[in-house]
């Protein structure tokens, strides 16, 4: 504890001791970041009719696949760097499994991309898997996407 106090005191004192005061930069504003879905209307994907076609690939399931473009930007529009992209189900539909890039989503955030590029559109594979035992009818599921820098 004593050592720490001494170090901090030394750091604060140095500019004065040096004789020439350094210019102090103004505190940086909090970085802004945004996430957007490319070429989608109102953030919605309608996969249409999901009808089972017998297949030996995944027996007992109907799988519908779409590609979603996700763009991450900084507030200052400067590209470069990466961010962490997470996703989870805000409103799950119990009749289907939703996967993003092979990751099955639940109501717990899962990392989709630990190094998502900022300033670029990144395609993500969205899969809707419906078992043949599921009841017919409309299906809806809301996926929450979160991007963060550290």
Partner 1 sequence: MKKFAIAVLATVAISSSAFAATSSGTLTVTGTVESSISLTIESAGGTTSGTGTDAATSALGSISRFSAAPTGFTLARGASDWTLSSTVGVKVSKANLTSTDYTLTAQLGAAPASGIVWKLNGSTLSDSAAATLTSTGTYESTGSYSWDIVVANSAAAAAIDNSISFTATSN
Copy the structure tokens of residue 69: 């473009």
Angle CA 21–22–24, to nearest 5: 120
Computed from CA positions of residues 73, 76, 79, 84, in that sequence, does the dihedral angle turn out positive or negative? Answer: negative
142 near partner 1 (CB under 8 A): yes
Pick from 8, 79, 104, 120 the residue near partner 1 by CB under 8 A: 8
Q: How far apart are CA 99 and CA 143, in angstroms?
A: 10
43 near partner 1 (CB under 8 A): yes
Tell me the CB-side half-sphere exposure of residue 82, using CA atoms within 13 A.
Answer: 9
Pick from 5, 18, 19, 44 the residue near partner 1 by CB under 8 A: 44
Q: Phi/psi at 57 (nearest 5 deg)?
A: -65, -55
| Binding pattern for the stretch 55-94 against partner 1, x by CB under 8 A and - elsewhere | -------x-x---x---------------------x----
Q: How far is the CB of 140 from partner 1 (least distance, A)?
A: 5
Which 87-116 positions form the footprint of partner 1 (CB under 8 A)?
90, 95, 98
CB closer to partner 1 out of 14 and 79: 14
Pick from 97, 112, 116, 147 the residue near partner 1 by CB under 8 A: 147
Cβ-contact 132, 111 below 8 angstroms: no
Copy the structure tokens of residue 31: 């970085």
121 near partner 1 (CB under 8 A): no
* CA 105 to mean position of chain CA atoms: 12
List of residues contacting partner 1 (CB under 8 A): 3, 6-8, 10-11, 14, 28, 30-37, 40, 43-54, 62, 64, 68, 90, 95, 98, 126, 128, 130, 132-150
């Amino acid at each position: 504890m004593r050592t720490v106090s001494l170090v901090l005191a030394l750091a604060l004192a140095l500019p004065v001791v040096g004789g020439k005061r350094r210019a102090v930069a103004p505190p940086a504003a909090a970085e802004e970041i945004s996430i957007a879905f490319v070429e989608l209307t109102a953030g919605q994907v309608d996969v249409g009719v999901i009808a089972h076609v017998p297949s030996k690939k995944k027996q007992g399931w109907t799988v519908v696949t779409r590609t979603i473009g996700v763009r991450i930007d900084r507030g200052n529009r400067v590209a470069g760097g990466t961010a962490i992209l997470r996703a989870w189900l805000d409103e799950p539909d119990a009749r289907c499994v939703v996967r993003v890039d092979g990751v099955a989503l639940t109501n717990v955030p899962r990392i989709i991309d630990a190094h998502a590029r900022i300033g670029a559109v990144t395609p993500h594979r969205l899969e809707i898997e419906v078992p043949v035992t599921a009841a017919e009818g409309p299906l809806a599921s809301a996926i929450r996407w979160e991007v963060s820098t550290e």
